[in-house]
Amino acid sequence: MGLADVGVASARALGVWAYYRIGWVRAAWLGVQADWGARISPHAAVAGASSLGTAVVGRDVRLGRGTYIASGILYSGAIGDFCSIGPNVILGPSEHDPRGWTLSPVEAQSRGETAASTQLPTDPPRLGNGVWVGANVVVLRGVSIGDGAVIAAGAVVTRDVPDREIWGGVPARLIGSRPSSAVTSSSMSGPPEPPGLGD
């Protein structure tokens, strides 16, 4: 790697850092507590969120009021009010389309196609109000998690979870339920509309 390559790489890294710092400053201005290590897209809808810890928050994420996130990567999705998101959670990652001629975005681009052509066209996940997501959980795109649901640590959520149910495992499945009085949906608005669905 030559000196010119180092300069280009340094400039690119500085640009990425500045992009996420703008998002961080915007979130702080909106009253959101964010750890200095948080990386927040300036396009993410975070107004009203409580705390973002050291999370990476993508541009296609909307957070409800009072929601907090310990850490993890939120690629896409709509998260309702007063949700508790544990450490190392992955929400709404892109998924490769196994029906395509290639699974590699790099190979697709080398042949004149977009990187998106290798991904499944699936809607972002939706989390209702008062949802608790434990540590190291993965929530795939196209999934809806109902109000007051609990997702146990380490689960991989591949399908919809009804209100007030407790799910865990890989893939996640029903392991229990919560009392119906645990969530008063009438006092809360629904989760925000994910970007692109209502636009």
Catalytic residue list: 96
Rounded to whole angstroms, the Cα distance separating 81 from 16 reads: 30
Q: How many other C-beta atoms are found inside a 10 Å radius of the C-beta of residue 129?
A: 26
Which candidate, 80, 63, 84, places its Cα nearest to that of 187? 80
Percent of the chain as helix, strand, coil, to the nearest 5? 20, 25, 50
Residues 20-54 as b or e (16 or more Cβ within 10 Å = b): beebbebbeeeebebeeebbbbeebbbebbbbbbb
Closest CA to 124 of 52, 44, 197: 197
CA distance 84 to 66: 9
> What are the contacts of 172-178 at 24+ separation with CB within 8 A?
178/148, 178/149, 178/150
111/132 Cα distance (integer angstroms):
43
